[in-house]
């Protein structure tokens, strides 16, 4: 599951609201850029930004601040607030934003949402903000008669892949997310669900992870220190558990491992003995196939092709667990090895002693 720390902008400042009430806005950080950089330093690879003034006005208001931030950090950024036409969508996506969020437009102009999804696909998310189970619009200032599940199904029908769901009553209250509401939504549609509102602790993150959601947005809990962002991100980097619903969602989760290179080294370790068996390289496709099949797939740099361990020899590797190192640039894969791992017939590829030589004292 992806953790998206949040920055909400009001009159150029980083603020938090209680239950969407603009009158409760209070400043939580001096600089959007420095806040974003601190999120990145703690391991975040995605960030959620909302133009609160834009949401209320119906058109972007804090555009330059958002774009400056997006262009100066090494993170994916999704942006919402006042995006009501294709011009605003194109402006953000062409200037460094990874995904835009359409909110009120989902209720008032589904044809526009459909057009945006047709052109930009997975770069479009829909925000469904619910109050008492009914979708709200116009920066949460207007409540509709449309049930949030009904709206979600409409969005699914027009091809929306990502839905950000907020229970307005929970937002900023530090009382925990509405797990029942999120679970119903996750079961009702095939879209990838991002939870928003009420996250107050690591336990909330674990509960959301256990629902099998794609992502979770955290705001006030990070600013107050109630949630340690680094610990939350680490907790969600497990490969086990309920997987996201689509291959594209998995790709988003794995993207952080390929930010430095298109290939990542994978150390293969025997589960039962702890012995290191081999070292190979993975690209995005081979890592995905490893996750999907439960057996190891690698990328051959000489042949420039994928290969499956044991496909011809029968000396297969069943994956037990996958770990990343602290810098997310090396993988450790624990396996159950059938037969020798090395093409020479040796159980491990590491059988040549360089030092100490026989008779030498280490």
Chain centroid, CA 327 distance in Å = 17
Whether residue 194 contacts residue 217, with contact meaning beta carbons closer than 8 Å, is answered with yes
Please compute, for residue 195, the number of CA atoms within 13 A of its CA located in the half-sphere on the CB side.
33
Q: Which residue in 327, 203, 168, 348 sits closest to 261, CA to CA?
A: 327
Q: Which member of 129, 167, 171, 204 is catalytic?
A: 129
Taking CA atoms, 258 is separated from 5, 120, 254, 255, 287, in Å, by 21, 23, 8, 6, 11
234 burial type by CB count under 10 A (0-12 exposed, 13-18 middle, 19+ buried): middle
Sign of the CA dihedral 283, 260, 248, 214? positive
For residue 8, indicate whether it is catalytic: yes
Quick check: is 129 catalytic? yes
Specify whether the CB–CB gap between 334 and 320 falls below 8 A. yes
Measured distance CA(274)–CA(260) in Å, rounded? 28
Contacts of 118 (CB under 8 A, 6+ apart): 159
Dist CA 106 CA 152 (whole Å): 9
Give all strands (DSSP E) within 92-169, no chain letters.
99-102, 124-131, 134-137, 142-147, 162-167
Contact between 209 and 1 (Cβ < 8 Å): yes
Which active-site residues does the annotation give? Answer: 8, 129
């Amino acid at each position: 599951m992806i953790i998206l720390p949040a920055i909400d902008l009001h009159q150029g400042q980083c603020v938090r609201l209680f239950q969407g009430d603009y009158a409760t806005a209070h400043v939580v950080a001096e600089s959007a850029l420095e806040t974003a950089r601190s999120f990145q330093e703690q391991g975040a690879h995605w960030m959620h930004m909302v133009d609160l003034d834009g949401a209320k006005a119906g058109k972007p208001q804090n555009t330059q601040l958002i774009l400056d931030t997006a262009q100066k950090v090494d993170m994916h950024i999704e942006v919402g607030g006042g995006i009501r036409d294709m011009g605003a969508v194109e402006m953000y996506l062409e200037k460094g934003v990874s995904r835009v969020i359409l909110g009120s437009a989902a209720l008032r102009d589904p044809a526009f949402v459909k057009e945006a999804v047709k052109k930009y696909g997975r770069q479009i998310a829909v925000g469904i903000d619910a109050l008492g189970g009914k979708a709200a619009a116009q920066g949460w200032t207007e409540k509709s008669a449309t049930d949030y599940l009904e709206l979600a199904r409409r969005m699914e029908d027009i091809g929306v892949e990502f839905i950000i769901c907020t229970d307005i009553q929970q937002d900023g209250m530090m009382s925990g997310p509405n797990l029942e509401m999120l679970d119903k939504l996750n079961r009702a549609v095939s879209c990838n669900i991002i939870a928003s509102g009420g996250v107050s602790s690591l336990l909330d993150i674990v509960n959301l992870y256990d629902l099998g959601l794609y992502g979770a947005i955290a705001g006030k809990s990070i600013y107050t220190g109630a949630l340690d962002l680094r610990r939350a991100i680490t907790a969600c980097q497990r490969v086990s558990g309920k997987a996201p619903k689509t291959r594209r969602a998995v790709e988003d989760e794995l993207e952080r491992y390929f930010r430095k290179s298109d290939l990542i080294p994978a150390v293969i370790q025997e589960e039962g003995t702890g012995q290191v068996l081999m070292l190979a390289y993975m690209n995005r496709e081979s890592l995905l196939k490893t996750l999907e099949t439960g057996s190891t797939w690698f990328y051959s740099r000489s042949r420039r092709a994928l290969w499956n361990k044991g496909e011809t020899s029968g000396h297969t590797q069943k994956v037990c667990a996958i770990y990343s190192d602290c810098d997310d640039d090396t993988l450790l894969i624990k396996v159950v090895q059938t037969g020798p791992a090395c093409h020479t017939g040796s159980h491990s590829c590491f059988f040549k002693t360089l030092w100490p030589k026989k008779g030498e004292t280490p």
